[in-house]
Structure 1
């Protein structure tokens, strides 16, 4: 049974990577280590790290905390006294991915997984002495987790990452377990459920783990032979993530909160945390604005800019004048903001209602078009002559929205790929766009907004994307990936295509000569 606590009565943080020893839980918040009593209370900060801290683990005797930090560049394993003190670096391998998994049963070595000396996705297990020195690689091949059972038994987790990052994944790299039940060194595949498995913990006579085979990842357990499957947590919204155990209890985080599961009583409850933090990272500060610039577009007359900075739209003159913010000051994210053709109104995509919707900002107020299902828009372009916009979304659709008539029209939907760019003609009648007719190619098409006719411009032979019109509307430019000239790669032992793209142009009228050919001249110039 999950006892509930009112989290809104507490000073809130986002709590991750818990580990437990005795009556104390250590966890990560604001990229630092904290501790809190298992019954809840005021949290105490242990570190003020120069970098992000992840995956802390208490030693079996509760005297040490091992964790991963990036204080000197790459993620490495550190150790510090559990009560606080100066961290000490244990590894110097320069890997891209490192996570502390636990400790050896005698508490003399820290166990961690790492990509050290291997390709980026190949994770293996290592151990390093509490006193430092050269790490030792376990001879088990690819593995993310390890847990020790009685009489030398070993349980390995392969591809056992964080299922919350790819919910209900069932592909070839879903988490699986391998088990040596007798300590003989012979491993067999162990799959107690058909879900994405992670975090194996051999506790007493049962094996505890996380699985999402029922939709949301929760903690389950079974016997070493896979029998007697039992469910221990009952979260219905957020996945159980990064559990760890002291042999009697399991702590984990779900959503932004910490929970503890008592294995003896079956009680599962939230740990109420009072985070008395100054919240330095959330305080108002002056920053280099270019780091937060997301989008920009020029006014139709060229005298000002429309910027999107940290999800907020602003307009500003090119040389002088005030900076004006549009929309809600806080709490709403805006994107794909554009001037309409008259330069006095702005169209944007807002999440104020919870789902993306179009908003029209005028000097008289804001109009929100919530009745139209536009999906998750990726691109948006404004017609230069009328109150119409074109937008593409995550469903591989291209839509036209008429602001005056308040109508949404589907131009075309691909079964195979994204709409890779589109552009209005200068007269506003034609819309050129890149369409995927199959899984391997994109072609350029032109849509006639007056008749509804669609005209293919290129053939499905290459990947033609990002169309653009010339100012007179007589030529159409686009980028084409069509140069298959392989050259040796400088970093990997294979061939590569570093110069595969070309700028192409299509002449749209028969009477327009090829602009790349010089006009013919007579043999002798007339004087």
Structure 2
């Protein structure tokens, strides 16, 4: 029983992260969890308030025109409105906390497709042209949808489905859905591969239903690129022939090409392209292939950034193909491409929004005492009565189990105190002091607290100091600087020994980390990294090297003070096994050569 207690104490001491929850975390009172009600986007919990809206301008407005040319439908602040094509007072078609946007009239003008998160995520919805009988068409709960467009026969809707990668950035695919029956949909345009992180979207049918236009980033590679040059060819409008599946690059060139919008007569394709730094409205003659700008400036498109819901808001041709209705500069405009005549279409939205009040907590800005959220490098004294740990950049000592922490050193500068380790007699603690200006130094302080003294003869990048069993020597890692730290004092990396009295330092080995001792000070144990991680030992001159254990995925090793056991960490778990006097252990969970016991709870290391 006594030996078992020593082993347990060893594991808790070396891998003190295991005892942090016991030593420093508050014991939460057990409470019975209540079943939470299903979340309703339209009526979330919490206090609510009404905000009045009275505006004649809007931001990033997507719009469409009814097939009879009489009505404009548009989105504003998460609701959808309708007004006469000449402008005027806007009537709300949707209302509430759900975010509704990107409205599109059906070919017969009887219905409007739009995107809404009323069901919990952004899906395609359809409502009557007067706002009644809204229903959800798609049922995506993760790969959310945007940019819905009707097929010319009104039977189907194509929308962009969002796909993420290992980064938060993602791409799109174009999927077709049956308006009447819904269903999982049919994939029309597939992303290039599962790692692709660039934009693909903005679908638009040709009037005859033969083609589907869409936009896709054209910069090389699969990874999303920040700060691309918009003067170059960064976006293409592509054209899919639905009957054959053939895809061609249809509009290319400097300044990119986004938001394809065919005219109802099939003669033109309107789109957005950069002219230097200015977004402009262009049209392409689908007979001759001529491309020309018809209006600038627009508001900035999103070609250099990331537009999940499109590079520019939806705009629309009038049914007779004589004019384009679009948003820009906060207003809705009517443009005649033939003569360049531009007129404003005024709108007035007088409405209200229900706003859920933000959850706010009261905090003391600078209390004298508070519970820290991060404890690092905790170590327990050999007698188990005290613990030293780092928090807020300083070392603290507390009596176990319930003592009040107090500062270990008297250093009141902004320097950080790191990597504490007790001497075997428990009277002293060695640690590293670091400041960006002075770099690192190795110091010793009484374990009850007090003034620290420097034992390192020169500045450096010091890690993981440890006392020899007799307390006369401190062994420490020296690493190189650079990148975020100074590159100076980096010419002699490795594991070094410092005489505590004379402060003389010498290198033991140029390869290794995490030095440590067992019962005797005759051999030094440390970790070497290569194809596998090895736990090795040498004499104090770096000679007579022996390999004791190796592991593919075990990254940290610690020998018991009596040298009889070895602990190691792999996959966020800590394992313990006997350490034989000879041979090389191949460490992996489930190995049967020696009994390996997991000593950490699930999910903690």
TM-score by length of 1: 0.51
Deviations 1:69-121 (A, max 9, x none): 11121222110011121211111233432013311011222221214899983
Within a 5 Å distance, the mapping from 1:63-462 to structure 2 comes to 63-115=110-162, 121-142=170-191, 143-149=200-206, 153-159=210-216, 174-179=234-239, 185-203=245-263, 204-224=266-286, 227-235=289-297, 238-239=300-301, 241-246=312-317, 248=321, 249-281=323-355, 287-290=358-361, 297-298=365-366, 427-428=412-413, 446-448=435-437, 459=479
Within a 5 Å distance, the mapping from 1:504-523 to structure 2 comes to none
Between the aligned partners of 2:160 and 2:82, the Cα distance in structure 1 is 24
Gaps of 5+ in 1: 1-8, 304-380, 382-424, 433-443, 466-481, 488-496, 501-527
Offset at 1:276? 0.7
1:32 to 57, 70, 79: 79
Contact 2:94 2:100 survives alignment (8 Å): no
Deviations 1:229-250 (A, max 9, x none): 2112212664482123245343
Which moved further from structure 2: 234-243 or 40-49? 234-243
Offset at 1:205? 2.1
Offset at 1:189? 2.0
Contact 2:236 2:258 survives alignment (8 Å): yes
Between the aligned partners of 1:166 and 1:34, the Cα distance in structure 2 is 35
Deviations 1:252-288 (A, max 9, x none): 333543333344553334432211123443xxx8653
Alignment coverage as a number of residue pairs: 331
Gaps of 5+ in 2: 1-53, 192-199, 219-224, 302-310, 371-391, 393-409, 418-432, 439-458, 464-478, 486-528, 534-550, 555-569, 574-605
Between the aligned partners of 1:287 and 1:178, the Cα distance in structure 2 is 43
Q: Secondary structure at the match of 2:113?
A: strand
Between the two structures, name the one with larger relative contact order (CA 8 Å, sep ≥ 6).
2
Offset at 1:10? 4.9
Q: Secondary structure at the match of 1:91?
A: coil
Offset at 1:456? 5.7
Between the aligned partners of 1:499 and 1:485, the Cα distance in structure 2 is 14
Contact 1:14 1:29 survives alignment (8 Å): yes
Between the aligned partners of 1:166 and 1:29, the Cα distance in structure 2 is 29
Between the aligned partners of 2:210 and 2:107, the Cα distance in structure 1 is 18
Q: Evaluate the alpha carbon distance shift between residue 499 and residue 216 of structure 1 in structure 2; reply closer, same or farther with a 3 A threshold.
A: farther
Greater radius of gyration (CA): 2
Between the aligned partners of 1:264 and 1:286, the Cα distance in structure 2 is 50
What is the root-mean-square deviation in Å for CA atoms of aligned residues?
A: 5.0
Between the aligned partners of 1:213 and 1:172, the Cα distance in structure 2 is 10
Q: Secondary structure at the match of 1:188?
A: strand
TM-score by length of 2: 0.45
Contact 2:162 2:171 survives alignment (8 Å): yes
Q: Evaluate the alpha carbon distance shift between residue 152 and residue 75 of structure 1 in structure 2; reply closer, same or farther with a 3 A threshold.
A: closer
Which moved further from structure 2: 220-229 or 50-59? 220-229
Between the aligned partners of 1:297 and 1:170, the Cα distance in structure 2 is 45
